[in-house]
Amino acid sequence: MIEVKSSIEDVDREFENSKVKVVIIRDLHELEIGDRKIGPFKNGEVIEISEWISEILADQGIVKSREQDMLDLGALSKIHWKETIPTSRQLPPLNPNFYCELRRLIRRLEKNSKSDASKLKDYEKAISLSKDIINCRLRKIASLAASQAAGGDMIQGMAKEEKMLYTSMSSMIADWNERLLGAGMPSES
């Protein structure tokens, strides 16, 4: 059985070390971050750096994420709509890093709501949509794991955390079924 907390932390750590494209919004001479030196860069330049470095530079007002690369409330609403269609038993494909991006969106919205009270509604909406998405997908994943019938395409459309959950649940359910059917059955000799 997987340790959920450490597995999610591992996925998050992998995401933090992945490369992202950002736009320089302020000229930057050479800068040291930890043991790394980056720069110089000119305003408007698009560079590719580690996610964790981009967050530091964004907080300092040096870079901004490219809009098309970021999960936003509009995209989250579309995902919610696809997940909650009443007749849908399908598991719509998600970006493998969806939950990492979702956690960052929620942190961004929470931070914005603290400095601008009008942004509190966006934060609350994101939390509500996120809970609905997670609950819908959890029910569908549990059903797939119980049926033991998920094909490769279905698993490919899952986020990394979901794949771990599906694998763990499938294994646990298969073991449970085997033990149920094996208990009290005469052994063949």
pLDDT digits (tens, 9 = 90+) for 131-173: 999 999 999 999 888 887 666 667 888 999 999 999 899 889 9
Same domain? 92 vs 125: yes
Where residue 44 falls (left for φ over 0; alpha for ψ -120 to 50; beta otherwise) is left
In a domain, 7, yes or no: no
pLDDT for 90: 78
Instruction: State the pLDDT at residue 1.
Output: 45
Number of domains into which the chain is organized: 2
pTM: 0.79
Q: CA gyration radius for the chain?
A: 21
Q: Identify the segments of the chain with pLDDT beneath 70.
A: 1-5, 68, 86, 88, 149-153, 183-189
Same domain, 166 and 155: yes
For residue 33, the domain's CATH number is 3.40.5.50
Which pLDDT does position 35 carry in this prediction?
Answer: 84
Q: Are 160 and 143 in contact (CB under 8 A)?
A: no
Find the domain containing 57 and state its range.
18-68
Instruction: Look at residue 6 and tell me if it is in a domain.
Output: no
- Please check whether residues 124 and 178 belong to one and the same domain: yes
pLDDT of residue 186: 58
Same domain flag for 63 and 76: no
pLDDT score at 70: 82
Let me know if residue 176 belongs to a domain.
Answer: yes
Based on the fold, state whether residues 141 and 54 are members of the same structural domain.
no
User: Which residues, other chains included, contact 2 with Cβ-Cβ below 8 Å and sequence gap of 6+?
Assistant: 164, 167, 168
Report the pLDDT value the prediction gives residue 43, as an integer from 0 to 100: 93
The rounded distance, in Å, linking the Cα atoms of 64 and 58 is 6
pLDDT of residue 162: 94
Tell whether 60 and 75 lie within a shared domain.
Answer: no
Is 4 a domain residue?
A: no
Residue 106: CATH number of its domain: 1.20.58.1030
Q: Are residues 142 and 56 in the same domain?
A: no
Q: What is the DSSP letter of 67?
A: G
On whether both 101 and 36 belong to a single domain, the answer is: no
